[in-house]
Structure 1
């Protein structure tokens, strides 16, 4: 199964999307594993469930507040939720912020956006402080709502009461930032990750020699091509394990030919073993 690309349309007369889920039975909601170019602020005001953001998966009991970066695959915070469930979600593209260069306040928000690439979980104290601001945004319109979004981001940028949900940037985030220059290479990995992925063939697709391609890829993405392929495969393995596939099936179906090596790489990127990941589902 592929991770679903979700298409988000801004609200009428607005540059971003806001929705408030309330009084809707959990059975009527869809928690597909998906990604989108928009950055997402999601706050569960009441309810419990599972956080599945990138490689991270954990349970929460009394609501949650998270910032999910552009193109990070996730299932939201409603996975395995029970009624009653209430959440507010804000989806926006980074380019709408138009932050001035060199201003301390702008730099703080830019740092927050950069951290969002890993997924950010805020404390219960921050969540409770932010909820009134979120509720006001849901009732606002036009430029006032835009200014309230900036105020919300600035408030979040000031706190140090948070944790990063992933230690590695997800493959989909890397792809989105370099899609134009490396389109053919990414397509090659997407279509062939189940089999042997050859660096020389990738270099040929980029019209570069193998050494030049390795240098170019590292500069463009901040990781090596081999790291990218391994991250992509582990991302797919997480999906298969979530679908009740065995560790061996997930290993061989994602291009690994050695379970010991698969376990090692899986733990490197997810900070948990495949067995522990299955038990957390």
Structure 2
């Protein structure tokens, strides 16, 4: 779970790239100097941008600023996840957007994109429609489409800031190394009994100090994070048509009733309802 710098390659003569990635088997922290607009369409998922960890349902539209570490948006949950990613050259933003007075609102949007911005409602609908059209347009038309999208986002009030402070890579390199160790431990032990005392010792903190540190970094308790992780692993197994009781114990729960209760709390429906609905969608798209 070490943070990796992603090297993005662009076609010659183009200021941005628009594509549909296939990242379902990847699970890693990454960052890049290019600003990124991501549309994810999935039954359920977790966004993890900077220090923010939060669920989304059905779809999400995110603007992620330069050098903000983030994880894949299906969080290793292999649903019928569709993504559209638009990445802008760093020099395009610096040399073109920031130097044009008429783009003042867009500049302000990009200035705060380091917080991670999630868009909803009509804004999301309009932007996704334009992204879909841009895939089939010529270079100039798609470029103008990008400018229109940035203006729509800049004027929108249907936006949520995911972080309250700077979480760009410089901050993460100073502090998130501990979090990488913690994520590794959770990933390796979520199906057993992750012990807060053990991981606290692994990062050279007392247990109370570790609990304060973890809550500050993730806005979740260690127990809540582990349970959230377990439930999302359970989703993966349910979508592979595993039995509910089998899944419950496979992801580390000792009580089926507690598993059902937590699953409904996090996902909004019971494991059986989730499995029936989403396996039906996959079988009959």
Question: Scaled by the length of structure 1, what TM-score is found?
Answer: 0.69
Q: Against the structure 1 CA distance between its residues 244 and 74, is the aligned structure 2 distance closer, same or farther, given a 3 Å change threshold?
A: same
Q: Distance in 2 between matches of 1:109 and 1:241?
A: 41
1:107 maps to 2:51: no
In the alignment, is the contact (CA less than 8 A) between 1:50 and 1:80 conserved in 2?
A: no
Q: CA deviation at 1:68?
A: 1.1
In the alignment, is the contact (CA less than 8 A) between 1:118 and 1:165 conserved in 2?
A: yes
Q: Distance in 2 between matches of 1:76 and 1:150?
A: 26
Q: Against the structure 1 CA distance between its residues 274 and 60, is the aligned structure 2 distance closer, same or farther, given a 3 Å change threshold?
A: same
**Partner of 1:59 in structure 2?**
55
Q: Distance in 1 between matches of 2:181 and 2:163?
A: 16
In the alignment, is the contact (CA less than 8 A) between 1:18 and 1:91 conserved in 2?
A: yes
Please list, as runs of the form range in 1=range in 2, the aligned pairs for 1:4-23 lying within 5 A after superposition.
4-21=4-21
Structure 1: runs of 5+ lacking an equivalent: 176-189, 191-228
Question: Scaled by the length of structure 2, what TM-score is found?
Answer: 0.68
Q: Against the structure 1 CA distance between its residues 3 and 100, is the aligned structure 2 distance closer, same or farther, given a 3 Å change threshold?
A: closer
Paired residues in the alignment total 222
In the alignment, is the contact (CA less than 8 A) between 1:3 and 1:73 conserved in 2?
A: yes
Q: Distance in 1 between matches of 2:144 and 2:171?
A: 30
Root mean square deviation of aligned Cα: 2.6
Which of residues 187, 203, 206 is equivalent to 1:258? 206
**Partner of 1:158 in structure 2?**
155
Q: Any idea what SS the aligned residue of 1:67 has?
A: strand
Deviations 1:94-142 (Å, cap 9, x if unpaired)? Answer: 4303125583x52211221122111111114321121111112222343
Q: Any idea what SS the aligned residue of 1:63 has?
A: strand
Structure 2: runs of 5+ lacking an equivalent: 230-285
Q: Any idea what SS the aligned residue of 2:212 has?
A: helix
Please list, as runs of the form range in 1=range in 2, the aligned pairs for 1:267-278 lying within 5 A after superposition.
267-278=215-226
**Partner of 2:164 in structure 1?**
167
